[in-house]
Structure 1
């Protein structure tokens, strides 16, 4: 983290938001990601979320970019998001535009236990970001997700701990099939981390667990030396890597059994340990 880099990026974000907020149909805006969390360094982009009362037109998006005096390097859109990439003094701004009603719908879904990672990313942007416009709107959204729902904790545990089997991992290690093995190792590590966020009732800040050391500190209930062991298995010889992962998985099943008893992990644990060939 660099205080200078964080402050520099917040100042750029404020300039961009002033241009967007000149349009009355922009109801709120915030800076999220590593900048909003105060984690940014010289490599960090600026993640700016802009919330509209209704779908923005191309002209409205272009007017905001031009009003800030920035140049646009990409423009994309889908059914739920309008994305604009801006380049300012060597820093890229990724602007994500949403209709406010879309965010309401996202919150409805995640509070009912939907495990789609993008929904939690939007929650953590609201909770951890820096509001720059429409503070009351953002405050109302934040209040909706003050409490982590138990249905989501259960769903995160059950989806996260549905893992590649130990037998498969050991087979790939025995064959020295390292490309497939590491793909499966990473998939299982992702699942363990997803489950740990559910066990701890903590909103997940990134779908691929980008900030491993910082994420570890968000999880008081976790296997010992979590990040250290994950790093070690990614560079260890195949059999050692599998053994390290198996230890993490077994400890996470125990944590789930203790702290999320409503999630029946016994069938998942049995499937992980199942051996078809003796």
Structure 2
């Protein structure tokens, strides 16, 4: 039995308990367990969609559930349970709120991270049960078409990758902690943009947790993306920064080819903007990415 099958079997009673609870429209298995690529570190994600706000008692119908969100807060609510050490995260949402979120993201093209996470979860969803499974199937059909307007909105929001000059500053200061933070910030923006260009939903960094599988999914992307991303966080600082610089420039090439509506010249100008150090009289090393 592989890791995904083990988790599907273990969580089946939880899905059944929620599916039979009054007020529930549908339940769904999500995440890596639903996709079939879980590993031994993977938790299990369960979505429960309600016709009305649930009480705490209704949310805790499955055994060993630990409440995470107070009852009087608004949808969604989060609870957690452990099945002999297997972590299960349960997200409860009102079906009406899901509809509102899909309208906001898919129709109004609002790049809301929580909404994008919901859509990503719906696309992955499997083992749908409850009295109204057709509701989830309807949401999945809507999510199957990624709007071009949403791609443009996300690229315009996350495409301006700025202050790359900080890399040289932090390398000269020998500050690997802040350098890593800057590299991660820019990498997250780059990957968010590439997902949007490729019509893939992503709402947070965990969407990028399997680099090789991600590279396979991103048809329009810089070559050898996974290998080069690993270099960004493993190569010596000057090389790492230069690899990221090249990845960003090539990502802008991809945007130009796939989304000509976006003003890529403006994105490049902002990315290439420099800040020159002053004073001291000591010759500084050449800028990151340039030959001495």
TM-score normalised according to structure 2 size? 0.88
Q: In structure 2, how many angstroms separate the alpha carbons of the residues matched to 1:12 and 1:89?
A: 9
Aligned CA distance change for structure 1 residues 161 and 181 (closer, same or farther; 3 Å): same
Deviations 1:172-195 (A, max 9, x none): 222222111110100101111011
Deviations 1:102-142 (A, max 9, x none): 11111111112222222122112111111331321111111
CA contact (8 A) 1:196 1:252 kept: yes
Moved more, 232-241 or 155-164: 155-164
Q: In structure 2, how many angstroms separate the alpha carbons of the residues matched to 1:131 and 1:137?
A: 13
Alignment correspondent of 2:214: 215
Deviations 1:52-77 (A, max 9, x none): 00110012122x12xxxx21244224
Runs of at least 5 residues in structure 2 that lack an aligned partner in the other structure: 278-292
Q: Within 5 A, what are the aligned runs for 1:45-194?
A: 45-62=43-60, 64-65=61-62, 70-77=63-70, 78-111=73-106, 112-133=108-129, 134-194=132-192
CA drift of 1:206 comes to: 4.8
Instruction: Kindly tell me the number of residue pairs found equivalent between the two proteins.
Output: 271
Runs of at least 5 residues in structure 1 that lack an aligned partner in the other structure: none
- SS state of the match for residue 93, structure 1? strand
CA contact (8 A) 1:156 1:197 kept: no
> What is the root-mean-square deviation of aligned Cα atoms in Å?
1.7
TM-score normalised according to structure 1 size? 0.92
Q: In structure 1, how many angstroms separate the alpha carbons of the residues matched to 2:186 and 2:120?
A: 23
User: Which of 14, 17, 38 is residue 15 of structure 2 equivalent to?
Assistant: 17
Moved more, 166-175 or 182-191: 166-175
Q: In structure 1, how many angstroms separate the alpha carbons of the residues matched to 2:252 and 2:146?
A: 20
CA contact (8 A) 1:51 1:98 kept: yes
Between Structure 1 and Structure 2, the one with more helix by share is: 1
Alignment correspondent of 2:230: 231
